[in-house]
Amino acid sequence: MNGTPKDLDPASELREDEEESSLPEMDLNDAAEGTLAGGRAAITRFVKHAPSAPGVYRMIDAKGDVLYVGKAKNIRKRVTSYTRPVGHDGRITRMIAATVTMEFVSTATETEALLLEANLIKRLRPRFNVLLRDDKSFPYIMITSDHWAPQILKHRGARTRKGHYYGPFANAGAVNRTINALQRAFLLRSCSDSFFEARTRPCLLYQIKRCSAPCTQEIDFAGYSALVREANEFLSGRSKAVHEELATEMDTASTALDYERAAIYRDRLAALSAITSTQGINPRNVEEADVFALHQAGGYNCVEVFFFRTGQNWGNRAYFPKADRTLGPEEVLGAFMAQFYDDKPPPRLILVSHEFEERELLAEALGTKIDRKVEVSVPQRGERKELVMHALANAREALGRKLADTSSQQRLLKALAETFQLPKEPRRIEVYDNSHIAGTNAVGGMVVAGPEGFRKNQYRKFNIRSTEITPGDDYAMMREVLQRRFKRLLKEEPRELIEAPAPLEDATGVALADTPPEIAEPIDFDSDDANWPDLILIDGGQGQLKVATEVLAELGLHYLPVVSIAKGPDRDAGRETFFMPGRTPFKLPPRDPLLYFIERLRDEAHRFAIGFHRNRRKKDIREAGLQEIAGIGPTRKRALLRHFGTVKAIERASLADLANVAGINAETARKIYEFFHEKASNA
């Protein structure tokens, strides 16, 4: 399950009923740290204290970073196998050589060890394990149970609110489409409780037959409760029973010549049919299952996951786990699945494309986790086999697209290194931007990109804290953002500081950085997980560049490459000017692919900073109230909230809707609309 190569699999371990062989003899004092002999010597010292019980072990390097997390039925016997002088492949040899210390955690059973191992791998991200890159939670459908009129909504994150959760769905789009269809089928409300309580007449959703309007008693409590029950039954897998019940009600109404009521049931049945018909492939005999298929090519792995619930396809997602090239598909898939279910409940049936060694142990562990039987199967024929083959075809296509994108990205990074005269192709690019309106709610944003595109889990937000900054001073804001970013980085991952030479200056007064000297770098900067940038991009001109170079020089980081991007005349895309220390400002050809790539980086930073700024501004509005808008006092505020229910609904309202509120004339409506829709200025 942890990506252990064949030379360390249980078949090659010492048998449980055999006596433990003596450890290899070696001179522990002569073994140098960082060598294979040194690693074997370190492991040999810790074997003496390893428990002869199930559990998890961690191999740690000289910097204290965890290299590898593994589990074993007998920790001592598993760790002893690392002390053999021969028989290891290149990956394990490098891992042993880097090992300085080890840690052990005993568990009651091997099943507990498997679950603990998956949790530690996801949290510690060891370099020699198979790593699942999953920085986003899955969305679910939730039907609340803490209100007399339950609400249907999309949910992510912790399940803190009382209700029924259904999923997972592969993406938000699949959830939104399903909720829309469920609203037409079951007429459940989707509005917030505050909006619900403020209604005096049915909203538009009632008019278009997507809600039964319990807010204004258009349906009584018993009738709405029946709708909620039917929705829960449908999402729980009893879709056929719900279909039959609705069909019976439609026939009864039709027989009684109540055609209007029969038409309602007809429309609800059509909506239910739409849910299944728009879900792509739908199994005939599989109600609840997850399907995993893995494809390897070009040193990359792709795991395609399909989710089936209530006999419907609830979407699919492709993953590209990070794993050593020497690992086969069975080892990668087994390690991937243990981490995948670390933070989410498994279904009753899991179908996989490859047989892996600890499949039965994984099924037992997942069943223990949710207190019900879980089947992990490698189907050989029939409908289940068809589902796996369909997932495998999608994995093959997704990996093909990934390899094409990676090749294109590598060409762009190579061109970027050549254009900006970087010592190597950048693996981590940091892009900075600021956003504010006349100095208010000033924020900074940092986005990160690399060989595999944007790394959104590395994005950072900065609230401008200094009270000494003049409102609207973009240079001072950029200075604060960069100082906070790199002071913290120096504290978390120190680098050897180099005293900057006396800066040269060009004709514009911008400091010029000398060629960076040879320095000692205590971290692996070729690693995808390295936090030090190979290139810093600043949205701005010569002024922003000067601020950036000054900050880096003050911190002893003057050798980090930095480039500022100034927008063209009239802020036209395609006419940007680039500024670098020691170089004359230059432009790229208008249709150069590299220019489009840099514009995309800049625009992503722009989007991220403005989004953060708008969220802060909305929060201030909620806290300060609508009185910040000129012409809005307590009376008009009450009228607006009574009409719309929430500030968010007021923000979404059109000019015509605002003007229809009692006491709001056309001029006041315009002020309200412009207050919420004014664009943030961007540094």
Does residue 6 have a pLDDT over 50? Answer: no
Does residue 15 have a pLDDT over 70? Answer: no
Tokens of 376: 């992990």
- Mean pLDDT in residue range 369-379: 88
- CATH topology for 429-614? Nucleotidyltransferase; domain 5 (3.30.420)
Q: How far apart are CA 620 and CA 629, in angstroms?
A: 12
Architecture, CATH, for domain 625-682? Orthogonal Bundle (1.10)
Contacts of 480 (CB under 8 A, 6+ apart): 444, 462, 464, 465, 466, 469
Does residue 343 have a pLDDT over 70? Answer: yes
Q: Where are the alpha helices (DSSP H) in 528-592?
A: 542-554
Provide the pLDDT confidence category of residue 527 given band limits of 50, 70 and 90: very low
Q: Which CATH superfamily is domain 6-124 in?
A: GIY-YIG endonuclease (3.40.1440.10)
Contacts of 384 (CB under 8 A, 6+ apart): 286, 351, 377
Q: What is the per-residue pLDDT across 40-97, written as a single tens digit (0 to 9) for each?
A: 888 888 888 888 889 999 999 888 889 999 988 899 898 998 888 777 778 888 889 8
E strands, 263-352, are: 289-297, 300-309, 312-319, 349-352
pTM of the full structure: 0.60
Characterize the bridge pairing of strands 300-309 and 289-297: antiparallel
Residue 554 contacts residue 520 (beta carbons within 8 Å)? no
Does residue 344 have a pLDDT over 50? Answer: yes
Q: How far apart are CA 329 and CA 333, in angstroms?
A: 6
Q: What is the per-residue pLDDT across 301-314, written as a single tens digit (0 to 9) for each?
A: 899 999 888 777 77
Does residue 506 have a pLDDT over 60? Answer: no
**Helix, strand or coil for residue 404?**
helix
Q: What is the per-residue pLDDT across 554-592, written as a single tens digit (0 to 9) for each?
A: 988 888 999 999 886 655 566 788 999 988 899 888 778
Q: What is the per-residue pLDDT across 218-235, written as a single tens digit (0 to 9) for each?
A: 888 988 998 898 888 877
E strands, 21-85, are: 55-60, 66-72
* Domain ranges across the chain: 6-124, 140-277, 289-401, 429-614, 625-682
Q: How far apart are CA 430 and CA 422, in angstroms?
A: 14
Q: What is the per-residue pLDDT across 126-168, written as a single tens digit (0 to 9) for each?
A: 888 888 766 567 788 899 988 899 999 988 877 788 988 887 7
Helix-helix angle 172-186:221-235, to 10 degrees: 140
Q: How far apart are CA 481 and CA 307, in angstroms?
A: 42
Contacts of 560 (CB under 8 A, 6+ apart): 532, 533, 536, 552
Q: How many CA atoms lie within 13 A of 109 on its CB side?
A: 8
Q: What is the per-residue pLDDT across 240-258, written as a single tens digit (0 to 9) for each?
A: 667 777 777 788 878 888 7
CATH classification number, 289-401, choose in 3.30.200, 3.30.70, 3.30.420, 3.40.50: 3.30.420
Torsion angle, alpha carbons of 89, 90, 96, 97, to 10: 150
Q: How far apart are CA 66 and CA 103, in angstroms?
A: 10
81: nearest Cα among 55, 109, 44, 30: 44
568: nearest Cα among 543, 599, 593: 599
Same fold, 6-124 and 289-401: no
